[in-house]
Each structure stands twice: as structure tokens, then as C-alpha cells.
Structure 1
Amino acid sequence: MTNALPELDLGLVTWLMGELWSEGVHPGAPQVYALLDGARDERIEPMIRTSEAEFICLYAGKLEPALSAAAPYLVHLDPNKPFTGALLDAGWGSNWGYFIVAPADVSLRQLRRHFRTLLKVEDFAGNPLVFRFYDPRVLRTYLPTCLPEERSALFGPCLLFMAETTTAGSLIAYPAVASASAEAGGHVRTLPSLK
């Protein structure tokens, strides 16, 4: 058995890494995390658990295997680790999750604490619902409709969310504070060779 990584789409991976680490990798630089929805693909949880990356499940307590496999996970990414390229290559275009850029002084546990406050919401009748904000399809639908205070509550300490779009080779970057010029509350960026 070999631990070799599959052949990566280096053009896509290089472009995504450039977008995610646009401020570089140095002390004090923003940190990049992936917020992954384990329910999107059975490969996600095993990939995270064998990654050697720092990660944490948003659900609390000891989980049954089926729930653990379908749970949302927050993973700290390092552009110099093989897992990051493998994740970008395997998950991009499949709505596995989205990426979070946070200040250097915000820890994985602080992000988890924040995101756990968003897991449950109530409908107009007061019935509890699970809010699947970690699914990029939900994010792309919900975020452009947010009022400023709702957007602030969703972002918490985060600076930026980046998600794939419905078009191959492009992403949408949502800053914590929306600008009037941003398309649907975000900025669409396209892989240069696809422009």
C-alpha cells in the first residue's frame, strides 16, 4: 500500500492557494480554514482524520459513526502540507464546504465556539431547525439576503468566506462587511485560463 497522493490539477490548486493565501504565509498573516460538510461525500471524514491537520467537529460529545461521518468539520489548512492540495483538488466543484480566512489571533477553538452558535435556528413558529450554514449551496443562497446584523452574526470573528460558484473554475469571496459594488454580496473570481 502506498501513501502517494493522486495526481492533482496543479493549475486549479495553485490558483486556489493563491486566492486563499493572498496575503502570504508569515507570522501575523490571516489563517485559512476549511468548513467541510461530511454529509456531502463519504471520503471527507476519513480524509480529515488521516490528514495530520488540526481539525475539530462542530458537533459536541461522542457521536455515533453515522453522525460523525455526516458532521461538519473545521480544519486548519497549511498551504505547505499535501492534505491541503489534495482537499482542494478532490473537493472543489463538489460542494464539500467552503473556506474561511480569519485573523492570525483567532484560534480553531474560537471559530468552533462561534460556529456552534449557528447550528440551530428557529422558524417563524418557534420550531427548532438545523441551519446547514456549512453547506456552500446554503451559504450562496442565504448570505446575499442577509441584513448587516445577520451578516455580522454569521461571520463573527472571520474576515472572509470563499466558496465555489455554480460555474466551473470560479469562486465567490464574501467579505465580512459587504460593499455596495459587490455582486450579490461577494466578489466572483475566475481561474485565469478560463477568462
Structure 2
Amino acid sequence: MTSEPAEPLARWFGRHLQAEAGPCFALVDCARHPQLHALLNHPSVRAESLFDGVEALRLERYGAWIVPFPLQGELARVWFGNAGQGWREAWGWLFQSHASLETLMRHFKKFLKVELPQGGQAYWRFYDPRVICQVLPVMRQEQHEQFVGRLLRRIYCVDPALNTFYEVWPQDSVMGNLLGERPLDIRAQYLPAVA
């Protein structure tokens, strides 16, 4: 996994970050590239698996990880390098939150398995941007209240098939706060071409 200079795409993305929304994090799907697990074990990267116990060992190289994502960090350098390899190859998605890494881990762990209508459970790959980019716009109010809640202030994902960058955030309004509702705003645009 080589990386050419990531500056143009990193600067472009940095203009989307909202200071009041908190630090940036990544949900990473290690199954998307054979070297992602090694990158997440880099000494300067503080990655935590969303899986516990035996599942964490079994899915270590293929599971979901949550990682602080400073724009000057090693993960961002590789993510934005090679013309945005992280987004173009659907490595995961980014978000901003004021919550601690531990709080975010507890929050996301609740969504790893879902009940199937015919009975039983299945993994929900919400950490795959190809999934979350399709699901967020069609979530019912109560679903996005559970998933986004008050923890996630901004979500950034790319649908590589459409080369589309999505920016999602909960609306804050007096009436919405009184009713306990916060609809999602979604802005979509093409991911810029990077030489």
C-alpha cells in the first residue's frame, strides 16, 4: 500500500470539517484491503476493534475498527493518498463527534448484529460506506435517532460506484428539539478528481 502526496484531497476534505462538531474519527472495514490491518497497528494509530473476545480474534483482519482520524495522521495520509484510495476503495467512512473513543465503541457495537425477520441474527456491515451511503437517506426518524443519536455530529462517506461524497448531519431546531426529533440533512457532491 503505497501513498503519493495526499495534500489536495486532505485539504478539500478539511474544508468540510466543522470545528464545533468535534474531532474526526473513522470506521474502517479491514476486509477492504489486505494491508489495512497492518496500517491500523502502526504505532501512531490508535485503533480499536468493534468486536470482542473470540469474534475479535476471528475477525481481526476482516472486521470493523474505530480510529481517531487527525488529518495530519498516518491513516489520513494513506487514506487520501493515491487519489483518495481510502474512499475510492470503500475502506470505511468518517464522522465527527465530541464523544470519547470508548463511548463511540459502545454505541457502534449495538449495531453489529441485527435480528432477521425469519429469526436468527446476521452481521450488519454499517461500517462499509457502500452500505451506509444507501441506508442513511432512507432511515426512518426513529432509526436515525438510534444510529446517529446525539453522538454523531457529522458523517462523511463516499459511494465509490457513483463517485459521490455525502455529508450528513442532524438538523437542530427549536421545534425539533421540543418534539425530540432531529431530521437528517444530506448534501451530495462528486468527489473531486485528484491527479
Structure 1 length-normalised TM: 0.80
Query: Secondary structure of the equivalent of 2:93?
Result: strand
The answer on 1:22 being equivalent to 2:18 is: yes
What's 1:117 paired with?
A: 110
Per-residue deviation, 1:65: 5.9
Q: Percent identity?
A: 23
Query: Secondary structure of the equivalent of 2:131?
Result: helix
Given that residues 16 and 88 in structure 1 are in contact (C-alpha distance below 8 angstroms), is that contact kept between their aligned partners in structure 2? Answer: no
Per-residue deviation, 1:150: 0.3
Aligned mates of 1:188, 1:137 — CA distance in 2: 14
Given that residues 162 and 172 in structure 1 are in contact (C-alpha distance below 8 angstroms), is that contact kept between their aligned partners in structure 2? Answer: yes
Aligned mates of 1:47, 1:93 — CA distance in 2: 17
Aligned mates of 2:121, 2:45 — CA distance in 1: 33
What's 1:7 paired with?
A: 4
Per-residue deviation, 1:85: 2.1
Give the ranges of 4+ consecutive aligned residues of structure 1 lying more than 3 Å apart after TM superposition: 62-66, 176-179, 189-194
Per-residue deviation, 1:82: 3.7
Query: Secondary structure of the equivalent of 2:59?
Result: helix
Query: Secondary structure of the equivalent of 1:69?
Result: coil
The answer on 1:178 being equivalent to 2:175 is: no
Aligned mates of 2:148, 2:140 — CA distance in 1: 12
Aligned mates of 2:14, 2:32 — CA distance in 1: 22
Give unpaired runs (5+ residues) of structure 1. Answer: none
Aligned mates of 1:31, 1:109 — CA distance in 2: 14
What's 2:179 paired with?
A: none
| Deviations, residues 82-139 of structure 1 (Å, cap 9, x unaligned) | 4322223231211110001112xx1001000000000111111222111111111111
Per-residue deviation, 1:154: 1.1
Tell me: CA distance 1:192–1:141, structure 2 relative to 1, closer, same or farther (3 Å): closer
What's 2:94 paired with?
A: 99
Query: Secondary structure of the equivalent of 1:68?
Result: coil
Q: What's the RMSD between the two structures over aligned residues?
A: 2.3
Structure 2 length-normalised TM: 0.80
Tell me which amino acid in the other structure corresponds to 2:10.
V
